[in-house]
Every structure is written in C-alpha cells, then in structure tokens.
Amino acid sequence: MAELLLIRHAQNDLVKSGRLEPVKLQAIYSSPLERARETAEAIADYHPNLTVIIEEGLNEVDFGSWSGQSLRRLRRRRLWQIVQRIPSRATFPGGEAIRDMQNRLINTLESIASKHATGRIVIVSHSDVIKVAVAYYAGMHLDMFQRLVISPASISTVALGQHGPMILQVNDTSHYSSRRPNEG
C-alpha cells in the first residue's frame, strides 16, 4: 500500500524542523511552483538519497486572469461566491475549472502511487489542491472541499491500497512548536 504524504508548502521554516528525517521515503514529488519546490528541497535535505521530482500535475489551479489580483478585489466578483459555495461549477476566466484541476490531480496521484506500490511518498503542493484530493479520497462531493482546512506545512496522509483509499490524517500540524503557523 502506498502512503501519500500530502504536504502544503511552507511559508516559513516550519518544514525545516526535520520531522520527516527519521521517516523512510520512497520519493519526493513537488508542484513546479517555487514555494512548493523550496519546501520539497527542505525535506530532501534530510534524505540525500532522494531528489525532488517536479510534477506538473501537482500544480495549483490555473487562475487565469485572476492570477496576481488581490483577494479584496476578487471577493466582489460573482464568481467568488461560486468558487466558495459550488466550486464544481467554477471556471476561472482564461484559466482552469476546479473540477478539471481535481481530475488532473487525481490522475497524477494515481500515476505516482502506481509507480510506488508500497512505502511513503511525499507530495508537496498547495492548499486547494490538497483539499480537493482529500475530498475525493474521502468520498466528498467537490462542492464541499472548501470546508476542509489545510495549514501551511501541514501533512495529510492518504493510503492507496487494493481495497480502496483510507484517509489516515488531515492537516496534521503536530510538528509545529507551540506557536501557530501564521504567528511571527
């Protein structure tokens, strides 16, 4: 059975805590975005026998013309409410539909799992990407994925075996010190 350790990229040095140092890993995959690659490299520092594999299918949703705009401005758009309430119907202008991102992601995760039938595989990606993966493997409708919380540097673990997926943990932040991830 393959265990996918779905790790949200860090915004600070939380991943450098070395929590995954004693864990035997089969592979480390990362979204191509810099913040995810940096987190994957920090994990790879503790596993010198592994190199980070960049996987396009783990990329954030393509926000199209929404990319780079402030959340304050985007919240006033009608599409914002669709993204929050019925994301299965949301397509970003000039970008990707959330349901297409979920299909891309699940195809990628299943492909990765088929290459590593057993062992732990690190997958470093982004909040919404991990939320839609957890929702899918938990049997939740895509429209409910916004109810999940995925904190920076958190670990969510999904086991993929021949009897179906099992959610082992979601949003594990026990490796944080006593401070919360968004605190200085």
Mean pLDDT of the chain: 91
10 or 18: which leads in pLDDT:
10
E strand intervals along 44-181:
52-54, 119-125, 155-161, 164-172
Instruction: Assign 177 a pLDDT band (cuts: 50, 70, 90).
Output: low
Structure tokens at 169: 């943990």
Q: Are 5 and 175 in contact (CB under 8 A)?
A: no
Instruction: Assign 175 a pLDDT band (cuts: 50, 70, 90).
Output: confident
How high is the pLDDT of residue 14? 53
Residue-wise pLDDT for 55-101, tens only, equals: 999 999 999 999 999 999 999 999 999 999 999 999 999 999 999 99
Region 2-63+105-172: CATH code = 3.40.50.1240
Q: Are 146 and 89 in contact (CB under 8 A)?
A: no
Distance CA 7, CA 64 (A): 24
How high is the pLDDT of residue 19? 74
Residue-wise pLDDT for 149-169, tens only, equals: 999 999 999 999 888 999 999
- Is the C-alpha dihedral spanning 17, 18, 20, 22 positive or negative? negative
Secondary structure (3-state) at 86: coil
Secondary structure (3-state) at 68: coil
How high is the pLDDT of residue 17? 58
Hunting for tokens 């920076």 — which residue is that? 152
For the chain, how long is the longest CA-to-CA vector? Answer: 48
Q: Which of 37-51, 121-135, 165-179 has the lowest mean pLDDT?
A: 165-179
Instruction: Assign 176 a pLDDT band (cuts: 50, 70, 90).
Output: confident
